[in-house]
Structure 1
Amino acid sequence: MNLSASLLVVAAVLASGLLIAGPALRRRYPVAWWLCLGFPAASLRVVRTWRPLMAGCGLAVSRKAALTVVSGLVGNGAPPPQPRVPRYGFIRPTRGGFWFLVRLLPGQVPEDFVKAAPAMAHDWEVHAVRVTTPKPGVVHISALAADPLKEPRAPKQRTAGRLLRVAVGVLESGAQWVIDLREVPHWLIVGATRSGKSTLINALVAGLARQRVALVGIDCKGGMELSLYAPRLSALATNRAQAVKLLGALVDLTLDRMALCRAARVRNVWGLPDEKRPVPVVVIVDELAELFLVANRSEKDEAQAAATALIRIAQLGAALGLYLVAAGQRVGSDLGPGVTALRAQLGGRVCHRVADPGTAEMALGDLNPDALIAAQSIAPEEAGTAVLASADGWDRARSHLVSETDAEAVAEEFAHLTPCIPELVEAVGGASVNDGPAVHFERLDGDAGTEG
């Protein structure tokens, strides 16, 4: 047996072994299965179907005018020329899919390929295809072999991770969904009942509870939601009157930190020496609408005071170590101009399934129309699935399943990290939320530990 025949036999044996072990390999090592078997097969389907797919979707262009073809070619017995199709580049694998670039033909626009995305997914036998535009004249086509949002797996977190950075779920691309308050300091989270909003907040609180940060809660529904994390909260307001006082104290805190930075001639708290840098504060507002709904004149004054304080915190807080996460079932312009002004300061947006289109419009409408359409298409059975958007773009994602019991246990476990900030405690009645001993951090440690 010569060398070429031996190589063929070895290749056949390896291929047969991979096919037999394929199902088990896919279950235990999905990434390895995809790179060894799934991706080569998908690449062959792309190559085989590209020309008929482009023709069927109206993306192929005739090389010559009809009269020239008839008189010059068909009349002479020659077959008509094949239509031109867009050229695609090298197909590159990802952990759960692939991507490549396509050069547009004259007269084509990216929207033509966006409309063809469902047909691409069916022909290539993949879960979904997304089309984006990295630069004029080129589209980026990415495909996902399976739905990574179906069963997201929470990573085992051994350390606190990088300061103010929490992995809360998984993106549709298969990458981790990370909320980094140092990069995007303020967030708006919306979603109807049982849409996954509370689960996302649980995941965020569970991650931040392990870090040396102060958590402050505002829950005007009597504290029914955020009181679960009471051992880890430095302060909790359970009605609007308390919320107004607490927000006022937070504004005063920002002014004090501003004076500290000015005296040290730095532009933000991260420029201060370690021994003078104050602890970061993350303010979590649950059910934002409760702060803005009014029934009489006195409530209107309270609502206006709360809105003004929230806007000031959002405007000044990022540089001074104060971060805002505002959540609600319904957030719309009908709640007053304060909501729209606040929305403009919240650079990160997360929209779960919502009960009214106005809430989705408020969350995503000013950032990306495609993200708005994707959010409005979330089905009731897709609990936990959300569309997140910022100035950098948008993506579909799903938060890790962190139950209230799990989040409560994490709050108890890390209660010893709760900083005592006297001015915030006094604002909500002079009693600390945490019944156990609280620690007053005089300085903020740098970014320590590895990512979980």
Structure 2
Amino acid sequence: MTVLASAPTAGETWYAWALVVAGVLGLGLLLAGPALRRRHPVLWWTAVGFPAAALRVTRTWRPLMAGCGLAVSRKAALTVVAGLVGKGSSPPQPRVPVRGLMHPTRNGFWFLVRMLPGQVPDDFVTAAPAMAHGWQMHAVRVSSWKPGVVRVSATFTDPLRAVIRPAPRQPGRLLRVVVGVLESGGPWAIDLRQIPHWLIVGATRSGKSTLINALVAGLAPQPVALVGIDCKGGMELSLYGPRLSALATDRADAVQLLGRLTELTLDRMALCRKAGVRNIWGLPKGERPVPVVVIVDEIAELFLVASRSEKDEAQAAATSLVRLAQLGAALGVFLVIAGQRVGSDLGPGVTALRAQLGGRVCHRVADSATAEMTLGDIYPDALVAAQSIGPEQAGTAVLASSDGWERARSHLVPETVAESVARQYAHLTPELPGLADPSGPPAGRTTVRLQRLDRDE
């Protein structure tokens, strides 16, 4: 008997062609994947990496929550343990935190998680390394979103591995400078209007000086006054000499300069009180004094003491810095405090000053006490990230503020570039009333100029 095969239907033909097209696309991505990932990482992540990561997260979410102790049995007072199997029965199906939709980013993804009763964000912070391994991601960060909800962010690769060179400088907002790149891929901006005072720490060759170079290079074209305190004889900050309104190169000069800055701040306070405004930004532009950014390099040199006279100087410097930090934000005086080491052994003045510095930047440090002093009082979990920075990761740092913490890397701005920028914009150097020494500056020291710069843009 002859059996005649029926012709394929239109639906079967479409399905076969769909399989062929899918196979060709899959084979093409498999062959071209390495080149696409190397030359167009964002396109590769969108087309291949994110769908694969979404599949891994969906498949592993329940067992991962159980393995990390974040799943709870539906039976009262019984916590589910990964792999628990009753006699001859299947494991109980636990309740797991509810995961929201995944949102892709340029180098990863994020989603929200609603926690179960009794859970806190620290439980998920502890589980973050397990999530990174389970999903084959570079890093996973957990942050509090709102009561009962946490935000889980993952990055596929480390965007901070490569040395970053800055883009051509463009005029920006007053007192805001883009100094590098965040781990999330966004710009790392230091905005002194939002966070007026900063603490920057880092060992030799960790990238601390490069960060200060980037900050000075960004502030130099702006109508602001830069004041330097470098008690190592001016070896670091003298590079920016043409753009500095004042520079102190030893502790005695630093105490004198800080005292004058305090008087300047009090004068501005009287000006604001007379005008009936709460800060200098409420003054008319023609009466608004120039913002002053005070850069202190190697803070330990101000606080280390070896005699009674040095102790008095150190205490005077600490008192002035704390007063500037307390009053300066509203009166246009901003602090950038840098050093290789910051510890409680430098005296109570350091602890009091640290409490006023809302922005923290921790590069690779030589001792754990400095990292603890910089980050431990606001984000203890950031200490692990800071202490994992290796010597080959110069410029990489942990950035912390009231908004949270994140890894970042500063732009590579060599000293020669910063020095050239300082000379280029030397004509913008304002002269500050009250900072000049009536007896005149000693030979070889930066001249302190006297005049107000009445513009802000």
After TM superposition, the score normalised by the length of structure 2 is: 0.87
1:46 aligned residue:
57
Matched, 1:363 2:374: yes
Match of residue 70 from structure 1: none
Partner of 1:151: 162
Match of 1:166 in 2: 177
Match of 2:111, SS? strand
Aligned pairs (5 A) from 1:314-353: 314-353=325-364
C-alpha contact (below 8 Å) 1:232/1:434 kept by paired residues: no
- Partner in structure 2 of residue 129 of structure 1: 140
Change (3 A) 1:428 1:220: farther
Q: 1:355 to 1:89 in 2, by over 3 A?
A: same
The alpha-carbon distance between structure 1 residues 428 and 178, as it changes in their structure 2 partners (threshold 3 A), is: farther
CA positional deviation for 1:5: 5.0
**Partner Cα separation in structure 2 for residue 248 and residue 417 of structure 1:** 24
Corresponding residue for 2:248?
A: 237
Q: Is the contact between residue 432 and residue 450 of structure 2 (CA under 8 Å) also seen in structure 1?
A: no
Partner of 2:441: 430
Q: Identity, % of aligned pairs?
A: 73
Corresponding residue of 1:30: 41
2:234 aligned partner, one-letter code: G
Match of 1:449 in 2: none
Aligned counterpart, 2:407: 396
- Is residue 372 of structure 2 the alignment partner of residue 372 of structure 1? no
Q: 3-state DSSP class of the match of 1:132?
A: strand
- Which sits farther off after the overlay, 400-409 or 369-378? 369-378
Taking a change above 3 Å as real, the CA distance of residues 231 and 65 of structure 1, as seen in their structure-2 partners, is closer
Q: Is contact 2:433-2:451 (8 Å) kept?
A: no
In the alignment, the residues of structure 1 paired with residue 74 and residue 387 of structure 2 have an alpha-carbon distance, to the nearest angstrom, of 41
Q: In structure 1, which of residues 242, 247, 251 is the aligned counterpart of residue 262 of structure 2?
A: 251
Kindly indicate whether the alpha-carbon contact (under 8 Å) linking 1:186 and 1:346 is maintained by their aligned counterparts in 2. yes
Deviations 1:202-238 (A, max 9, x none): 1111111121111110000000111111111111111
Return the alpha-carbon distance in structure 2 between the equivalents of residues 438 and 249 of structure 1.
Answer: 13
Give the distance between the partners of 1:10 and 1:427, measured in 2 at CA.
83
Kept in 1: contact 2:223–2:453 (CA 8 A): no
1:29-428 aligned within 5 A: 29-64=40-75, 82-151=93-162, 153-421=164-432, 423-426=434-437
What 5-or-longer segments of structure 2 have no aligned partner?
1-9, 79-85
CA deviation string 1:237-290 (max 9, x = no partner): 111111111111111211222222222221111111111111111000001111
1:285–1:80 CA distance, 2 compared to 1 (3 A): closer
Whether the 8 Å CA contact 2:360–2:399 is kept in 1: the answer is yes
Cα offset, 1:441, TM superposition: 5.3
Output the amino acid matched with 1:185: P
Counterpart Cα distance in 2 of 1:11 and 1:5: 10
CA contact under 8 A between 2:298 and 2:339: conserved in structure 1? yes
Equivalents in 1 of 2:42, 2:303: separation in Å? 48
How many residues in Structure 1 have an aligned counterpart in Structure 2? 439
2:212 alignment partner AA = I
Moved more, 411-420 or 133-142: 133-142
- How many Å apart are 1:414 and its aligned residue? 1.7
Distance 1:273 1:30 in 2: 49
> Residue 417 of structure 1 contacts residue 438 of structure 1 at CA under 8 Å; is this kept in 2?
no
- In the superposition, the TM-score normalised over structure 1's length comes to 0.88
8 Å CA contact 1:152, 1:169 repeated in 2: no
Letter in 2 for 1:370: D
Q: Which moved more, 1:159-168 or 1:20-29?
A: 20-29
Aligned-pair CA distance for 1:29: 2.9
Structure 1 residues 341, 29: CA separation in 2 closer, same or farther (over 3 Å shift)? same
The worse-fitting range, judged by mean Cα deviation, of 122-131 and 382-391 is: 382-391
Work out the CA distance in 2 between the residues paired with 1:158 and 1:380: 29
Q: Contact conserved, 1:233 with 1:433, CA < 8 A, in 2? A: no
Q: 1:80 to 1:273 in 2, by over 3 A?
A: closer
Q: Could you say if the C-alpha distance between residues 310 and 142 of structure 1 is closer, same or farther in structure 2, counting changes exceeding 3 Å?
A: same
Residue 428 to residue 59, structure 1, CA distance change in 2 (3 Å): farther
- The amino acid across from 1:211 in the alignment is Q
Asked if structure 2 preserves the Cα contact closer than 8 Å seen for 1:167 and 1:179, the reply is yes
Q: Which residue of 1 aligns with 2:83?
A: none
Aligned-pair CA distance for 1:378: 2.9
Instruction: Confirm or deny: 8 A CA contact 1:234 1:433 kept in the other structure.
Output: no
**SS of equivalent residue, structure 1 residue 323:** strand
Q: Distance in 1 between matches of 2:122 and 2:287?
A: 53
Q: 1:332 to 1:9 in 2, by over 3 A?
A: same
Q: Hey, what's the Cα distance between the residues in 1 that align with 2:52 and 2:406?
A: 27
The answer on whether the counterparts of 1:231 and 1:433 sit within 8 Å (CA) in structure 2 is no
* Residue pair 2:166, 2:412 contacting (<8 A) in 1 also: no
CA distance in 2, matches of 1:15, 1:81: 38
